[in-house]
């Protein structure tokens, strides 16, 4: 799952760069018919944000009980839910 988030982030970042490039080239060309590209840019930006948030959530999950380690004291060595070492 963690790897899937990383790949999703990479792919959406590439799509984002490509669509931004296409919009830029079109605008420089005097072509203002870029509504599809603008939508694609927005969608890929949302996917990128979502995958980064997902990665962070999965990254802070306990490998033993699967609960999110939501301790505010930074990275603790033990899970606050099941008490096992992380």
Residues near Zn ion (CB under 5 A) are: 62, 64-65, 79, 81-82
**Minimum distance of Zn ion from residue 69's CB (angstroms):** 7
- Cβ proximity to Zn ion: between 31 and 71 the closer is 71
Name the maximum alpha-carbon separation found in the chain.
62
Residue 30, Ramachandran bin (φ over 0: left; ψ between -120 and 50: alpha; else beta): left
- Cβ proximity to Zn ion: between 26 and 61 the closer is 61
**First-last CA distance in the chain:** 18
**Minimum distance of Zn ion from residue 83's CB (angstroms):** 7
**Minimum distance of Zn ion from residue 77's CB (angstroms):** 12
Say if CB 20 and CB 28 are below 8 A apart: no
- Cβ proximity to Zn ion: between 6 and 65 the closer is 65
């Amino acid at each position: 799952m963690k790897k899937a988030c990383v790949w999703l982030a990479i792919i959406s970042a590439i799509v984002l760069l490509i669509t931004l490039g296409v919009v830029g080239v079109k605008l420089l060309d005097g072509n203002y018919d870029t509504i599809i590209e603008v939508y694609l840019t927005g969608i890929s930006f949302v996917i990128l944000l979502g995958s980064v948030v997902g990665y962070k959530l999965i990254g802070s999950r306990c490998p033993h009980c699967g609960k999110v380690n939501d301790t505010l004291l930074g990275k603790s060595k033990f899970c606050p839910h099941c008490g096992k070492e992380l």
